[in-house]
C-alpha cells in the first residue's frame, strides 16, 4: 500500500456567511475575499506541511491544478512541485496534474514535467486530467464539445515528444509544430509514470486501461460513494483482460487521526464543516457545461461532486454522518486503521491520496494528524497488496547520484557585492 499526502491548498479564511452571500467558491468567487498577505503565509505553511510529510515517510506529495477557486490556490501545481524539489528527499512528486487541453502548445507541459523530473532526480508522476468544467470551460474558455478531442491530441503530442529521439513535425487539429524537439529530456525514460485523475467520466476508464495508465478517482465524497466508480473502472479493466492490480488505481480520501475518536471530532469537526459546506459550495450552473460530459457518461448516471445534486447529498450532515457515510475516515489510530483497510480493500486500491489538510484546518492540527498517521497507521497498512508489483511509481536516480541543495552560507557579502563566503569560492574553483 502506498500513501500520497495530497494538498488542495485552500484559502482558510472565507467568511462565516460565505454560502449565503455568494453563489460559488469557484469561477466567480469575489476577488476581494483574497488577502495576499494571508496568501503568502498559507503558501509557506502548505509547503512546510508537504515537506513534513516527506520527512514522515509518505510515498508521495500531491498537488493539483484549479483556477479561480477558493479551495484550491494552485493555478500552477508545477510551481509548487518545483519548490518541493529543493527541500524534499524521498517522496515522489505527484502532480495530478496539468489540464493539458489548456496549454498552447501542450508541449509546454512536456517541457515543464521534464524539468520537474530532472530537478527532482526522477521523482515525478505526471498527471493528465481532462480538468473540471469549472476550470476548463468557465475559467479558461475552452469549447466544451471539443475539449476531449483536444485533450487526446495534446496527450499524443506530449507522449510522443517524450519518447521520440528524433525531431518530428506534428500536424494536429489543434496544434501544429514544425520542430518538436524536447529539451530537457526527463530522467525517467522514456517518460515519468502517467496517472489520470478522473471524476467519473466513463471514457477515462477505457483510456487508462488501453494505455496502462494509473486511474486516480479524486472524489471528496469518500470510499462508500466512490465504490460505484471504482467498480466501473475494475469492470472495464476485467473486460479488457487487464491485470487487476490495485496499484493501477488511486483514490482520494479525507483522513484524520487523533488520540481518540472523541478528540478527532472535538478538534477537527469545524474544519470538516468548513470544507464540505464552504469550500465545496459551487454554483450549479458551473458544474457541467453542455458538452463537457459525453452523453454516454450522462446516461451512466454518475453524479458530479459539485453543484446542486452534490449539495443535496451533503446538506445538514453532522460529523457522525460524515464518518458513517465514509466522507471522512477519522478517529483514533485504531479506528482509522480498521476503516482504511476496509476502504482500500473494498475499492481494490493501492494508491491512497490522503487529504490531511482540508478546509480551515490550522498547521498544528495538520501536523498532529499527519504524525499520528505516519507512526500509528501507515506501518500497519504497508503489508496490504504486497503480493502485487507497483508498476506506476517513479524509477528515480540511484541515491548516490541525487544532488541536494548546497548549504546556505553566502549571507555575508562585501560592500562591493562580491561573495566572500568560502563555500562560494570553493564552488567556483571546483567548477574550473
Partner 1 sequence: MITTQKLLDGKFSVELHQFGSSGDPLLFLHGAGGLTGVDPFLEDLSKDFKVIAPHFPGYGESTGNEHIDDVLDAALFYHQLMDELGIDSANVVGHSMGGMLAAEMAALCNHRVKKLVLVAPAGFWLDAHPIPDFFAADLTEIGGLLFHDPNSPVARMFTAIPEDLKALEAMYVERVKRLATAGKFLWPLPDRGLKKRAHRIKSPTLVVWGESDKLIPPVYANEFTSRIKGARTAIIKQAGHMPMYEQQAEFVKTVLGFLKS
Which CB atom, from 272 or from 310, has the smaller least distance to partner 1?
A: 310
Which CB atom, from 79 or from 143, has the smaller least distance to partner 1?
A: 143
Which CB atom, from 37 or from 173, has the smaller least distance to partner 1?
A: 173
Cell (9 digits) for 234: 475494475
To partner 1, the closest distance from the beta carbon of 120 in angstroms equals 36
How far is the first Cα of the chain from the last one, in angstroms, to the nearest whole number?
A: 47
146 is a contact residue toward partner 1 (CB under 8 A): yes
Q: Segment 289-348, which members bind partner 1 (CB under 8 A)?
A: 289-291, 293, 295, 298-299
Using CB under 8 A, which of the segments 74-82, 111-119, 137-145, 162-170 binds partner 1?
137-145
Using CB under 8 A, which of the segments 83-91, 269-277, 288-296, 397-405 binds partner 1?
288-296
Which of 38, 79, 143, 406 forms a contact with partner 1 (CB under 8 A)? Answer: 143
- In angstroms, what CA-CA distances link 315 with 2, 77, 278, 322? 33, 31, 12, 11
141 is a contact residue toward partner 1 (CB under 8 A): yes
To partner 1, the closest distance from the beta carbon of 131 in angstroms equals 15
Which CB atom, from 268 or from 286, has the smaller least distance to partner 1?
A: 286
To partner 1, the closest distance from the beta carbon of 303 in angstroms equals 13
Which CB atom, from 155 or from 293, has the smaller least distance to partner 1?
A: 293
171 is a contact residue toward partner 1 (CB under 8 A): no
Cell (9 digits) for 8: 488542495
144 is a contact residue toward partner 1 (CB under 8 A): yes
| Residues that bind partner 1 in the complex, under the rule CB under 8 A | 137-138, 141, 143-146, 283-286, 289-291, 293, 295, 298-299
Amino acid at each position: 500500500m502506498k500513501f500520497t499526502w495530497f494538498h488542495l491548498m485552500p484559502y482558510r479564511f472565507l467568511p462565516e456567511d460565505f454560502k449565503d452571500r455568494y453563489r460559488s467558491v469557484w469561477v466567480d468567487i469575489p476577488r476581494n475575499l483574497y488577502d495576499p498577505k494571508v496568501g503568502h503565509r498559507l503558501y509557506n505553511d502548505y509547503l512546510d506541511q508537504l515537506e513534513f510529510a516527506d520527512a514522515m515517510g509518505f510515498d508521495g506529495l500531491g498537488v493539483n491544478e484549479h483556477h479561480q477557486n477558493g479551495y484550491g490556490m494552485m493555478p500552477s501545481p508545477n510551481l509548487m512541485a518545483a519548490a518541493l524539489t529543493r527541500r524534499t528527499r524521498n517522496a515522489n512528486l505527484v502532480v495530478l496534474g496539468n489540464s493539458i487541453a489548456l496549454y498552447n502548445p501542450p508541449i509546454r507541459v512536456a517541457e515543464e514535467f521534464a524539468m520537474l523530473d530532472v530537478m527532482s532526480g526522477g521523482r515525478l508522476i505526471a498527471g493528465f486530467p481532462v480538468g473540471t468544467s469549472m476550470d476548463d470551460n468557465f475559467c479558461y474558455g475552452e469549447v466544451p464539445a471539443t475539449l476531449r478531442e483536444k485533450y487526446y491530441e495534446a496527450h499524443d503530442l506530449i507522449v510522443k515528444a517524450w519518447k521520440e529521439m528524433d525531431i518530428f513535425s506534428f500536424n494536429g487539429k489543434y496544434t501544429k509544430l514544425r520542430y518538436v524537439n524536447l529539451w530537457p529530456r526527463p530522467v525517467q525514460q522514456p517518460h515519468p509514470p502517467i496517472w489520470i485523475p478522473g471524476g467519473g467520466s466513463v471514457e477515462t476508464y477505457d483510456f487508462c486501461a488501453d494505455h496502462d495508465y494509473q486511474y486516480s478517482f479524486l472524489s471528496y465524497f469518500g470510499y462508500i460513494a466512490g465504490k460505484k466508480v471504482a467498480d466501473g473502472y475494475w469492470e472495464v479493466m476485467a473486460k479488457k483482460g487487464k491485470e487487476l492490480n490495485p496499484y493501477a488505481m488511486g483514490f482520494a480520501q479525507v483522513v484524520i487521526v487523533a488520540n481518540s475518536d472523541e478528540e478527532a471530532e472535538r478538534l477537527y469537526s469545524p474544519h470538516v464543516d468548513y470544507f464540505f459546506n464552504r469550500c465545496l459550495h459551487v454554483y450549479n450552473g458551473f458544474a457541467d457545461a453542455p458538452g463537457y460530459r459525453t452523453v454516454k457518461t450522462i446516461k451512466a448516471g454518475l453524479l458530479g461532486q459539485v453543484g446542486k445534486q452534490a449539495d443535496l447529498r451533503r446538506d445538514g450532515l453532522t460529523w457522525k454522518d460524515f464518518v458513517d457515510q465514509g466522507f471522512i475516515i477519522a478517529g483514533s489510530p485504531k479506528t482509522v486503521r480498521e476503516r482504511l483497510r476496509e476502504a482500500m480493500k473494498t475499492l481494490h486500491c493501492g494508491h491512497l491520496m490522503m487529504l490531511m489538510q482540508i478546509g480551515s484546518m490550522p498547521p498544528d492540527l495538520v501536523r498532529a494528524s499527519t504524525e499520528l498517521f505516519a507512526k500509528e497507521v501507515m506501518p500497519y497498512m504497508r503489508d496490504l497488496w504486497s503480493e502485487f508489483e507497483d508498476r506506476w511509481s517513479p524509477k528515480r536516480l540511484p541515491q548516490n547520484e541525487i544532488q541536494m541543495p548546497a548549504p546556505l552560507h553566502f549571507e555575508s557579502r562585501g560592500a562591493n557585492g562580491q561573495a566572500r563566503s568560502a563555500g562560494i569560492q570553493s564552488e567556483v574553483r571546483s567548477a574550473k
